[in-house]
Structure 1
Amino acid sequence: MRISEATTNDVPELARLQWLDTRHEEPSQSSLDAFASELAQWWADREDAHFAFVARLAGPEIVAMAWVALVPRVPRPGAANRLSADIQSVFVLPEHRGRGIGSAVVDAAAQHATQLGAVRVTVHSGRRAVPVYERLGFASTRQLLQRPLD
């Protein structure tokens, strides 16, 4: 397995994985190719704040992805460039799950964020994935709260 930071050349595969991950959530009026174009433009507009990490097995096909979004924080005296990070859009092709591939891309994304100076890395997880994140060192805290939408 090879874990690497994705490049713009990977956008069609990233779009395909995102498409597969969300195909049951919302009906889409556009094609996969149209979505890939939208994703390419979205990422180009946010390339300094959003990074994707991917896993490949033997060939060029991407079998898993994890994105990390960097969020600038309000400066404090002596700390003008503060960052937080959020892990997003983690997906592993179903036939490759349960082999540590998702953990590897999440770990790479989280490490990248901390290397760039993030003081906190968060993730909003589905229930089934909570144990995976806990094994990677994520923990629930009483201080991190979420306000539900009405």
Structure 2
Amino acid sequence: MRISQAHPDDVAALARLLWLDTRQEEPTASAVEDFAAQLGQWWATRGESHAAFVARLDRPEIVGMAWVALVPRVPRPGATGRLSADIQTVFVLPAQRGRGIGSALVEAAADHATALGAVRVTVHSGRTAVPVYQRLGFASSRQLLQRPPD
């Protein structure tokens, strides 16, 4: 398994994985092409704040992804470059699950954020993935609250 930071030439593969994660169905070529164009435009304007990591096995096909959003925090005296990070959209093809790919992707995304100076890395997880994140060192926090939309 190879984990690497995604590049703009990976947009079509990322679009396909995002489609599968959202719709749970293989997209038509035209649907993924249209979505890839939208994703490429979105990412082009957010390249400094969002990084994607991809997993490949023996072939060049991307089998998993994890995104990390980097959020500048309000400066404080003596700490003007504060940064937080949020792991988002972790997805591994169903046939490849259970092999540590998702964990490796999360580790790469979290390590990237930490290397850039993030003082905190968060994740909003579905229930089934909570034990995975806990094994990777994530823990619940009384101080981190969320306000759901009305």
State whether TM-score is above 0.5.
Answer: yes
Query: C-alpha separation between the residues in 1 aligned to 2:92 and 2:149?
Result: 28
Equivalent residue for 2:109?
Answer: 109
- 5 Å-filtered alignment, 1:41-60, equals 41-60=41-60
Matched ranges for 1:22-101 at <5 A: 22-23=22-23, 31-101=31-101
**SS of match in other structure, 2:99:** coil
**Secondary structure of 1:31's partner?**
helix
Paired residues, number: 145
Amino acid at match of 2:127: R
**Partners of 2:47 and 2:99 in 1: how far apart?**
30
Query: Structure 2: which amino acid aligns with 1:21?
Result: D
**Structure 1: distance between partners of 2:14 and 2:6:** 9
**Which letter maps to 1:9?**
D
Query: How far did residue 148 of structure 1 move?
Result: 1.2
Q: Which amino acid aligns with 1:104?
A: A
Structure 1 stretches of 4+ with a deviation exceeding 3 A read none
2:112 alignment partner, SS class? helix
Corresponding position of 2:142: 142
Find the residue that maps to 2:139 and give its secondary structure.
coil
User: Deviation string for 1:110-132 (max 9, x for gaps)?
Assistant: 00000000000000000000000
Give SS of 2:54's match.
strand
Q: TM-score, normalised by structure 1?
A: 0.95
Map of 2:4 onto structure 1: 4
Matched, 1:16 2:20: no
Could you tell me which runs of 5 or more consecutive residues in structure 2 were left unpaired when the two chains were aligned. Answer: 25-29
Counterpart code for 1:57 = L
Partner-residue secondary structure (3-state), 2:129 = helix
Report the TM-score when normalising by structure 2. 0.95
